[in-house]
């Protein structure tokens, strides 16, 4: 049941700006990627996207290749706490358990886990575990070893099960990281498999969001969003 607090929260979330800019949202069957160097704030953004879905009553599976489970749980708690601290959002605390209960964390070790196995387990969670996820967050996935074929498996999977899948993409190469179209050079080969690509970059003292690809169109655009350095929430550009 979506309450008044949730409605308010959903309506006021800066993520509505993001959705508007990407033709109404990522959409089921599609792959979205947030790309940046390590430590810029991708995980915080992914968790914010996830919590926004959770507030809408939509279950989320959070797949992590690196972090420990309690580490991820803490991320959610922090983001939740920051949201509850926003004006008129105090009542969020009362629905905490209900909201967080709609999230499952699945942790895989990348060196041991093949994508087929990961997808099999996610499917088992949705089908056998009767967990009606619409959104899957994939954090810490390394794009390089599996190549575009591996990402294509995720894309097929998303289409088959009607999921929207958000990835974080860690950029490690030398500068310049981005080509003239704003596409991260390391993800160039994967571009066909990515529906929405957003890059996070430091701009002076804050982190700033650029839309690189929007559902098939390569159209670099400033999203007018930034990452609040204290709360680590996605916020409107001032």
Partner 1 sequence: MATAIDRMRNIGISAHIDSGKTTLTERILFYCKKIHRIHEVKGKDGAGATMDYMELERERGITITSAATNVTWADHSVNIIDTPGHVDFTIEVERSLRVLDSAILVLCSVGGVQSQTITVDRQLRRYNVPFIAFINKLDRIGANPYKVRDKIAEKLGHNAVLMQVPIGLESQHQGVVDLVSMKAYYFDGDDGEVVRVEEVPAELRSEAEKRREELVDAASMFSDELMAAALDGRATEAMLYAAVRKGTIARKLMPVFMGSAYRNKGVQPLLDGVVRYLPDPSEVEATAVDLDAGGREVKLVADPAAKTVALAFKLEDGPYGQLTYVRVYQGGLHRGDEIVNTRSGQKIKVGRLVRMHADTMVDISGAVAGDIVALFGVECASGDTFAAAGLNLALSSIHVPDPVISLAVAPADNTAADRMAKALNRFTKEDPTFRSHVDPESGQTIIQGMGELHLDVYLERMKREYRAEVQTGKPQVAYREAISQRVDFDYTHKKQTGGAGQYARVIGTLEPFPKGGFEFANEVKGGRIPREFIPSCEKGFRASLRKGQVIGFPVIGVKVVLTDGQAHAVDSSDIAFQTAAQGAFRQTYPKAKPQILEPIMKVSVEGPSEFAGAVFGSISQRRGLIVSSIEDGTFARVDAEVPLSEMFGYSTILRSLTQGKAEFTMEFLRYGKVPPYVAEALIAEHQERLKKGSGK
> Rule CB under 8 A: which residues touch partner 1?
68-69, 73, 101, 104-109, 112-113, 117-118, 120-121, 124-125, 127-131
Q: What's the closest the beta carbon of residue 174 comes to partner 1, in angstroms?
A: 31
Q: What's the closest the beta carbon of residue 192 comes to partner 1, in angstroms?
A: 29
Residue 169: burial class (beta carbons within 10 Å; 0-12, 13-18, 19+): buried
Cβ proximity to partner 1: between 61 and 207 the closer is: 61
Cβ proximity to partner 1: between 19 and 131 the closer is: 131
Q: What's the closest the beta carbon of residue 21 comes to partner 1, in angstroms?
A: 33
Q: What's the closest the beta carbon of residue 59 comes to partner 1, in angstroms?
A: 11
Cβ proximity to partner 1: between 10 and 91 the closer is: 91
Cβ proximity to partner 1: between 130 and 230 the closer is: 130
C-beta of residue 220 within 8 angstroms of C-beta of residue 197: no
Query: Packing angle between helix 42-55 and helix 69-85, nearest 10 degrees?
Result: 70
Ramachandran region of residue 162, left (φ > 0), alpha (ψ -120 to 50) or beta? left
Task: Measure the CA angle with vertex 51, ends 10 and 219; round to 5°.
Answer: 75
Q: What's the closest the beta carbon of residue 209 comes to partner 1, in angstroms?
A: 29
Cβ proximity to partner 1: between 104 and 191 the closer is: 104
Residues in the chain: 238
User: Phi first, then psi: what are they for 34, rounded to 5°?
Assistant: -105, 120
Three-class SS state of 227: strand
């Amino acid at each position: 049941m979506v309450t008044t607090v949730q409605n308010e929260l959903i309506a006021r979330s800066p993520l509505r700006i993001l959705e508007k800019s990407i033709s109404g949202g990522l959409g089921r069957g599609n792959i979205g990627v947030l790309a940046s160097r390590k430590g810029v704030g991708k995980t915080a953004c992914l968790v914010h996207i996830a919590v926004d879905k959770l507030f809408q009553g939509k279950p989320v599976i959070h797949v992590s290749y690196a972090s420990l489970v309690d580490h991820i749980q803490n991320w959610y708690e922090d983001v939740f706490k920051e949201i509850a601290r926003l004006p008129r959002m105090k009542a969020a605390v009362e629905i905490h358990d209900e909201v967080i209960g709609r999230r499952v964390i699945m942790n895989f070790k990348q060196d041991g886990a093949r994508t087929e196995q990961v997808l099999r387990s996610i499917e088992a969670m949705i089908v056998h575990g009767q967990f009606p996820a619409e959104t899957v967050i994939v954090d810490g996935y390394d794009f390089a070893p599996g190549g575009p074929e591996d990402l294509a498996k995720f894309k097929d999977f998303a289409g088959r099960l009607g999921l929207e899948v958000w990835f974080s993409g860690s950029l490690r190469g030398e500068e310049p990281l981005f080509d003239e179209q704003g596409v991260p050079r390391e993800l160039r080969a994967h571009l066909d498999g990515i529906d929405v690509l957003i890059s996070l970059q430091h701009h002076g003292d804050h982190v700033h969001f650029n839309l690189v690809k929007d559902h098939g169109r390569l159209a670099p655009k400033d999203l007018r969003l930034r990452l609040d350095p204290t709360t680590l929430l996605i916020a409107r550009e001032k």
